[in-house]
Amino acid sequence: MMAWTDRHCRYLLRLASVRTKLFTEMITTGALIHGPQERLLRHSPAEHPVAIQLGGSEPDAMARCAAMAETAGFDEVNVNVGCPSPRVQRGAFGACLMKEPDLVADLVSAMTRVVRIPITVKCRLGVDEADDQARLEAFVGAVADAGCETLYLHARKALLKGLSPAQNREVPPLQYDRVYRIRERFPDLTVILNGGITDLAAGRSHLEKVDGLMIGRAAYHQPLFINQLAVAFLGEDPVTPQDLMEGYVAYMRSELAEGTRLADMTRHCLGLFSGMPGARHFRRLLSDHRRLAANDLSLVDEAMDQIVARAA
């Protein structure tokens, strides 16, 4: 999730689940080809399985970036066909590609030609007025024929004019039944449902109709939710927030030694103890930018003491 997630966040989420697939935020072909390539492709071996998400609309550039991602060690390349931001629309990719199934099919086939890892697509139900089920089926059919075997479907349409990206994640209603119908219509396609999943019961009921769940905001705000899902559906072991913190502190220690700033890592664990005694103090201490600037891990110990002290 752009501006929210990064490799540190993925490391923290990996501590919550061994098998859940993690994704990078959307990385544009322009940034990857002309920008800080090493930084954009960097990830820890602990993150696997990890997919990189690319944003772009030129088959050659997407193929070149897919090859870079494969060489860098990513397990999957996902094509963003869901982002509605005005900047992305100006670049003519993201959600506006829902209106161009043939072009998305060209992207997928150009990429599958040059890499062995799976090329997958994340999309919406539609955009603007172009959002009937027949169009969605035509889109899905085109990308499936081009070699996409897994589709991540955000169960709402995007409105390209008049709504901000944040509103586009809230205002258009969720239509889960349309995702279920895609699953029925394309039995060979793996269909993963995304959008608005915040509790285990909802996850369980969706899983009767689709092949998997993709979690965005709830995973970011409450990494433990991913653990709950992994325990329920993947047979993983339960972990406590303290377990996660223990692993994350060890990670932060080694990253600090490499020159990573403490604030860039602590920002991802602010919600870890939500609802527990001391959570507010924990969050407040780890949001103190003056103290974070010292890059001294003892601030994290102090924050943890708040939890222990209040839990006692």
Ligand X SMILES: Cc1cc2nc3c(=O)[nH]c(=O)nc-3n(C[C@H](O)[C@H](O)[C@H](O)COP(=O)(O)O)c2cc1C
Nearer to ligand X, 5 or 306 (CB): 5
Least CB distance from residue 23 to ligand X, whole Å?
Answer: 7
Nearer to ligand X, 83 or 245 (CB): 83
Least CB distance from residue 154 to ligand X, whole Å?
Answer: 4
Q: Are 207 and 233 in contact (CB under 8 A)?
A: yes
Of 88, 92, 87, 151, give the one whose Cα is nearest residue 119: 151
Of 217, 189, 222, 193, give the one whose Cα is nearest residue 207: 193
Nearer to ligand X, 196 or 223 (CB): 196
Nearer to ligand X, 6 or 285 (CB): 6
Least CB distance from residue 192 to ligand X, whole Å?
Answer: 11
* End-to-end Cα separation, the chain, in angstroms: 36
Alpha carbon separation from 93 to 82, 104, 272 (Å, rounded)? 9, 10, 34
Residues of this chain that bind ligand X (CB under 6 A): 1-4, 25-26, 53, 80, 82-83, 122, 154, 169, 194-197, 215-218
Number of CB atoms found within 10 A of residue 219's CB: 23
User: Residue 267, CB half-sphere, CA atoms under 13 Å: how many?
Assistant: 12
Q: Where are the alpha helices (DSSP H) in the chain?
A: 7-16, 29-34, 37-41, 59-72, 86-90, 101-114, 133-145, 176-185, 200-206, 217-221, 223-234, 241-257, 262-266, 279-285, 289-292, 298-311
Least CB distance from residue 168 to ligand X, whole Å?
Answer: 9
SS3 content of the chain, % helix, strand, coil (to 5): 50, 15, 35
Q: Are 7 and 43 in contact (CB under 8 A)?
A: yes
Least CB distance from residue 114 to ligand X, whole Å?
Answer: 22
Of 1, 103, 21, give the one whose Cα is nearest residue 61: 103
Number of CB atoms found within 10 A of residue 253's CB: 11
Establish whether 83 is a catalytic residue: yes
Nearer to ligand X, 82 or 278 (CB): 82
Nearer to ligand X, 68 or 215 (CB): 215
Chain residue at closest Cβ approach to ligand X: 216
Number of CB atoms found within 10 A of residue 311's CB: 11
Residue in 83, 96, 148, 269 annotated catalytic: 83
Least CB distance from residue 258 to ligand X, whole Å?
Answer: 25
Question: What is the Cα–Cα distance from 228 to 223, expressed in whole angstroms?
Answer: 9
Residues annotated as catalytic are: 83
